[in-house]
Amino acid sequence: MFQSFLIKYAEIGVKGKNRYLFEDALVEQIRFALKKVDGTFDVHKTSGRIYVDAKTEFDFDDVVAALQKVFGISGICPVVFVEDKGFEQLGKDVIDYIDRTYPDKNITFKVQARRARKNYPLDSTEINRELGAVLLEAFPELKVDVHTPQVLLNVEIREKIYIYSRIIPGPGGMPIGTSGKAMLLLSGGIDSPVAGYMISKRGVKLEAVYFHAPPYTSERAKQKVVDLAHYVAAYAGPMRLHVVNFTDIQLYIYEKCPHDELTIIMRRYMMRIAEAIANETDCQGLVTGESIGQVASQTMQSLACTNDVCTMPVYRPLIAFDKQDIVDISEKIDTYETSIQPYEDCCTIFVAKHPVTKPNVNVIRIHEQNLEEKIDDMVKEALESREIIEVE
């Protein structure tokens, strides 16, 4: 029944010149998302609005599901368009629309006409009144409510006439590509995919980096991270996943540094390497799934030690989230089932029984000096030998 979708987006903060950037990015992201759906679609901007017109048959649910993953969309309105064959015919078309869209007629409604084509014989107030009367006559159970109608029936007079009333919620946020790029430290856990999703929701494009430690971590553990990146990419768009072999660095830290500080020192090297790749790939920030107090390496003191090695801003969107709230989002974005698969993580292999919970950054810096002999070469080697996987 529907031939088109009107795309609603929040306009706050997208005035003036930025508005065009926002709209163009949104159009591009919609086109991209619809490539995965059967059918041909014309995505266009017309008088300050974005429409998705179907040029072929399509599956309604598939299109809506694809659009619900495009950040920047606040609402999706399925539209019926009819030819302008005079006002009497429009009355019949509107009756038909209401009849098919609302099987239960016990509803309140209001007609909201917009006359984009000024040569139409009736003005919008007249259209509202006349169509309201036509509908009440056809369906006596209907009631008009001009203040808070359950159904706001939009009738837009353009070359054709657009009729719509339903608004399916979109994901909100900003279109990918409107806010720069960030490097996501992606592990196989629950948190980091959610962190990536949240940052990309603000329009940020992502690159990702995963540290693995073969043979202590398996190919299967790596595949799990690729799978997670794939789920995040469903929202964030295609991304490159840099897989860094961290084994030698971990073993070297294990050999040279106090064992209760292993995790912190290891985390500092992860951040350093992530930042080096971020610089090479034009990222403006790092993203982690850290949350205060979740584990020993995420106390305020530990976070300060990790942060100490970074010059780029580190974004931690989950910093004040409870675990359950994070789990809820991971279920929504389909990463949860993958995240809980029991594969070893490179952090868990070398963890001490009693890791420091209040590390002192000056002490950590001194202990890191034990690594001076070989660490720079090892970092260089890790960077150079990294594998890059394109994730769709």
Choose between 156 and 261: whose C-beta lies nearer to ligand ATP: 261
Backbone angles phi, psi at 97, to 5 degrees: -60, -50
Choose between 281 and 294: whose C-beta lies nearer to ligand ATP: 294
The correct pick among 72, 285, 289, 359 for binding ligand ATP (CB under 6 A) is 289
Closest CA to 37 of 11, 65, 62: 62
* 229 contact choice in Mg ion, ligand ATP, none (CB below 5 to 8 Å, kind-dependent): none
* 185 contact choice in Mg ion, ligand ATP, none (CB below 5 to 8 Å, kind-dependent): ligand ATP
In the complex, which residue's CB is closest to Mg ion? 189
The correct pick among 23, 93, 156, 191 for binding ligand ATP (CB under 6 A) is 191
Choose between 187 and 335: whose C-beta lies nearer to Mg ion: 187
Choose between 189 and 237: whose C-beta lies nearer to Mg ion: 189
Sites for ligand ATP among residues 169-188 (CB under 6 A): 185-187
* 307 contact choice in Mg ion, ligand ATP, none (CB below 5 to 8 Å, kind-dependent): none
* 346 contact choice in Mg ion, ligand ATP, none (CB below 5 to 8 Å, kind-dependent): ligand ATP
d(CA 198, CA 200): 5
Choose between 275 and 290: whose C-beta lies nearer to ligand ATP: 290
Total residues contacting Mg ion by CB under 5 A comes to 2
- From the list 5-13, 276-284, 287-295, 349-357, the region that binds ligand ATP by CB under 6 A is 287-295
Residues 330/232, Cβ–Cβ less than 8 Å = no
The correct pick among 72, 189, 237, 285 for binding ligand ATP (CB under 6 A) is 189
Interaction of residue 346 with ligand ATP, rule CB under 6 A: yes
Residues 263/347, Cβ–Cβ less than 8 Å = yes
Strand partners, 244: 211
Interaction of residue 295 with ligand ATP, rule CB under 6 A: yes
Name the minimum Å distance from CB 38 to ligand ATP: 35
Sites for ligand ATP among residues 60-119 (CB under 6 A): none
Reduce the secondary structure of the chain to three states and give it as a string: CCCEEEEECCCCCCCHHHHHHHHHHHHHHHHHHHCCCCCCEEEEEECCEEEEEECCCCCHHHHHHHHCCCCCCCEEEEEEEECCCCHHHHHHHHHHHHHHHCCCCCCEEEEEEEECCCCCCCCHHHHHHHHHHHHHHHCCCCEECCCCCCEEEEEEECCCEEEECCCEECCCCECCCCCCEEEEECCCCCHHHHHHHHHHHECCEEEEEEEECCCCCCHHHHHHHHHHHHHHHHHHCCEEEEEEECHHHHHHHHHHCCHHHHHHHHHHHHHHHHHHHHHHCCCCEEECCCCCCCCHHHCHHHHHHHHCCCCCCEECCCCCCCHHHHHHHHHHCCCHHHHCCCCCCHHHHCCCCCCCCCCCHHHHHHHHHHHCCCHHHHHHHHHHCCEEEEEC
Q: Tell me how crowded residue 205 is: count the other CB atoms within 10 A of its CB.
A: 19
The correct pick among 165, 192, 330, 335 for binding ligand ATP (CB under 6 A) is 192
Closest CA to 247 of 342, 370, 388, 350: 350
The correct pick among 5, 109, 164, 211 for binding ligand ATP (CB under 6 A) is 211
Sites for Mg ion among residues 170-199 (CB under 5 A): 187, 189
Choose between 178 and 297: whose C-beta lies nearer to ligand ATP: 297
Choose between 232 and 347: whose C-beta lies nearer to ligand ATP: 347
Choose between 175 and 189: whose C-beta lies nearer to Mg ion: 189
Interaction of residue 269 with ligand ATP, rule CB under 6 A: no
Interaction of residue 302 with ligand ATP, rule CB under 6 A: no
- From the list 76-84, 115-123, 295-303, 357-365, the region that binds ligand ATP by CB under 6 A is 295-303
Name the minimum Å distance from CB 96 to ligand ATP: 52
Name the minimum Å distance from CB 69 to ligand ATP: 21
Name the minimum Å distance from CB 173 to ligand ATP: 20
d(CA 236, CA 182): 11
Contact positions vs ligand ATP (CB under 6 A): 185-187, 189-192, 209-211, 270, 288-290, 294-295, 297-298, 346-347
Contact positions vs Mg ion (CB under 5 A): 187, 189
